Amino acid sequence: MMRGIRGATTVKSDTVDDISGSTQELLTAMLKENDIAISDLASAIFTATSDITSGYPARAAREMGWKYVPLLCFQEMDVKGSLPMCIRVLLLINTDKAQEEIRHIYLHGASELRKDLE
């Protein structure tokens, strides 16, 4: 069975190091909290707000060893009043876990996006 895991984080500044570090922190937490191995990943879809232009979140995943996982990056919709400097991810995983067992991860300023999960 395939399940989706959502996550998001914010970056302090639009630099390659901040984008990579924040993305890797988020992905590491998502894997750990859901007891996922890289081999369980079917794909990952990343979005970044329009104020993030210095790097690709997917590159951070490649640097973590996600060599064979299909990855895509997109620009998040530019909605007035939305959370700035935000990276979002949707991981599609192969798992036997029930939907209610999945832990979605929101770090730093992105915790505001899903207060219902706290």
Residue 3 bears catalytic tag: no
Residue 106 bears catalytic tag: yes
Encoding tokens for residue 25?
Answer: 């922190």
Residue 73 bears catalytic tag: yes
Out of 6, 33, 100, 112, which one is annotated catalytic? 6
Out of 88, 100, 101, 112, which one is annotated catalytic? 88
Out of 62, 63, 101, 112, which one is annotated catalytic? 62
Residue 6 bears catalytic tag: yes
Out of 33, 59, 68, 73, which one is annotated catalytic? 73
Query: Closest Cα partner for 110 from 41, 42, 32, 57?
Result: 57
Residue 56 bears catalytic tag: no
Out of 56, 106, 112, 118, which one is annotated catalytic? 106
Residue 14 near residue 42 (C-beta atoms within 8 A): no
SS3 65: coil
Positive or negative CA dihedral for 58, 60, 63, 65?
negative
Out of 3, 56, 76, 86, which one is annotated catalytic? 76
Query: Active-site positions?
Result: 6, 62, 73, 76, 88, 106, 114
